[in-house]
Amino acid sequence: MSLLFSPLKIKDVEIKNRIMMSPMCQYSAKDGHAKDWHFVHYGTRAVGGAGLIMFEATAVLPKGRITYGDLGLWTEEHAQRLKHITNFIKSQGSVAGIQLAHAGRKASLQLPKDGDGPLRDAEGAWEIVAPSAIPFGNNYQVPTALSICDIHSIEESFANAAQKAFVAGFEVVEIHAAHGYLINEFMSPATNKRTDDYGGSFENRIRFLLEIIDHIKFVWPDNLPIFVRISATDYVDGSWDINQSIMLAKELKKKGIDVIDVSSGGLVPDAKIQYDFGYQLAFAERIHKETGIMTATVGMNTTAEQGEMILRDDMSDIVVYGRELLRDPYFALNAAKVVHDDIEWPVQYIRAKNK
């Protein structure tokens, strides 16, 4: 059997292969609610054989959405609509995960199709929050620095969403601590200028994330995995970097986090990043090898052979495919052929399996 199609058991969840669909915003929700689009989009990737399907960044509060089109999970009704989708994903033998997020100073943006910039008042802009009152870029709204009381309230919102994620049938939650959104903004010296318990030292900057984890663990079953997606570096001199990511990984391991999903960037608009296969792989490998925690590696993974090589060289435990799965929802079914594995196909498609 190939490594890419070997199962992975994390706590009580068995994932049938190492292919994870990366969380990718669909900008197609209404008031945070999933629509037919989400059912077809996620359902098709389950039919296509991906082992773990990570739903897009899902806001824990209305004001934590990046755009009006983001998924949200702050009411029972949000959970009920998602349950319909997770039931179908399970019926196909895949595992459904959900990325819980708060967009911080990168909230209140236009849909990408409308320009991706900050929403103007006439377009329904809402007040945004961050650790410090520093805007993302020129022309972006200046966020309000969060009070301690508001920090605690957002932490509780993550737990509220995690509890609803369980009701909605998700078996993995991923905390979105990457890409310059709220948690990442606390971690990074470039965006966190606080002088209280949540700013300054490394311990203070990661406190918000660690407290969110504690809150989530109150409501999320012990036998189900928790992932954290991080940006291994901000690509900003003197800010968050791979060494701090490794220090963080050690803390997360102590907290019982199962997998670190290793991405990078997103904190500042002008970071210089060379986008090639493997551009984030060395970060995942170092975190995995230097701390022993499981990692998922993402970024320009497009082929089965790459996945096989990553696993063979023990650079990561899970291979995450993003845009490749947008181009080809049946990527996993086809990848199995490439690595000469005979996997089960949906019965409806058996006649297409071999020619």
Residue 225 interacts with ligand FMN (CB under 6 A): yes or no: no
Taking the complex as a whole, the smallest distance from the CB of residue 260 to ligand FMN amounts, in Å, to: 13
Count the residues of the shown chain that bind ligand FMN, applying the rule CB under 6 A: 20
Residues in the chain: 355
Site for ligand FMN in 242-271 (CB under 6 A): 263
Tell me the residue number closest to ligand FMN, measured at CB.
Answer: 322
Q: Tell me whether residue 192 or residue 231 sits nearer to ligand FMN (CB atom).
A: 231
Residue 231 interacts with ligand FMN (CB under 6 A): yes or no: no
Residue 141 interacts with ligand FMN (CB under 6 A): yes or no: no
Q: Tell me whether residue 183 or residue 294 sits nearer to ligand FMN (CB atom).
A: 183
- The answer to whether 302 and 324 have CB atoms below 8 angstroms apart is yes
Looking at this protein, which amino acid is placed at residue 8? L
Site for ligand FMN in 149-188 (CB under 6 A): 176, 178-179
**Per-residue b/e over 148-165, b at no fewer than 16 CB within 10 Å?**
eeebeebbebbbbbbbbb
- The answer to whether 156 and 150 have CB atoms below 8 angstroms apart is no
Q: Tell me whether residue 20 or residue 46 sits nearer to ligand FMN (CB atom).
A: 20
57-59-178-292 Cα dihedral, nearest 10 degrees: -80
Give the span between the Cα atoms of 147 and 86, in whole angstroms: 36
* Closest among 159, 161, 167, 170 to 13, alpha carbons compared: 170
Give the span between the Cα atoms of 34 and 32, in whole angstroms: 7
Q: Tell me whether residue 131 or residue 322 sits nearer to ligand FMN (CB atom).
A: 322
Give the span between the Cα atoms of 338 and 340, in whole angstroms: 5
Residue 41 interacts with ligand FMN (CB under 6 A): yes or no: no
3 state SS of 270: coil
Q: Tell me whether residue 335 or residue 345 sits nearer to ligand FMN (CB atom).
A: 335
- Binding part of the chain for ligand FMN, among 80-88, 119-127, 245-253, 292-300 by CB under 6 A, reads 292-300
* Closest among 289, 205, 211 to 250, alpha carbons compared: 289
Give the span between the Cα atoms of 277 and 309, in whole angstroms: 12
Contact with ligand FMN (CB under 6 A): which of 52, 165, 298, 311?
Answer: 298
Site for ligand FMN in 102-131 (CB under 6 A): none
Q: What angle do CA 97, 94, 170 make, to 5 degrees?
A: 30
Taking the complex as a whole, the smallest distance from the CB of residue 235 to ligand FMN amounts, in Å, to: 15
Contact with ligand FMN (CB under 6 A): which of 68, 235, 321, 345?
Answer: 321
Contact with ligand FMN (CB under 6 A): which of 102, 105, 229, 288?
Answer: 229
Residue of 68, 181, 235, 330 marked catalytic:
181
List, in order, residues 6 or more apart from 166 with CB less than 8 Å away: 219, 220, 221, 224
Residue 227 interacts with ligand FMN (CB under 6 A): yes or no: no
Site for ligand FMN in 15-34 (CB under 6 A): 22-25
Contact with ligand FMN (CB under 6 A): which of 56, 258, 285, 317?
Answer: 56
Taking the complex as a whole, the smallest distance from the CB of residue 57 to ligand FMN amounts, in Å, to: 3
Binding mask 60-99 for ligand FMN (x = CB under 6 A): ---------------------------------------x
Residue 282 interacts with ligand FMN (CB under 6 A): yes or no: no
Residue 233: count other Cβ atoms within 10 Å of its Cβ: 22
Give the span between the Cα atoms of 245 and 205, in whole angstroms: 12
What does the radius of gyration of the chain's CA atoms come to, in whole angstroms?
Answer: 19
Residue 295 interacts with ligand FMN (CB under 6 A): yes or no: no
- The answer to whether 109 and 116 have CB atoms below 8 angstroms apart is yes
Structure tokens at 336: 């199995």
181 is catalytic: yes
**Interface positions with ligand FMN (CB under 6 A):** 22-25, 56-57, 99, 176, 178-179, 229, 263, 298-301, 321-324
What residues are annotated to the active site? 181
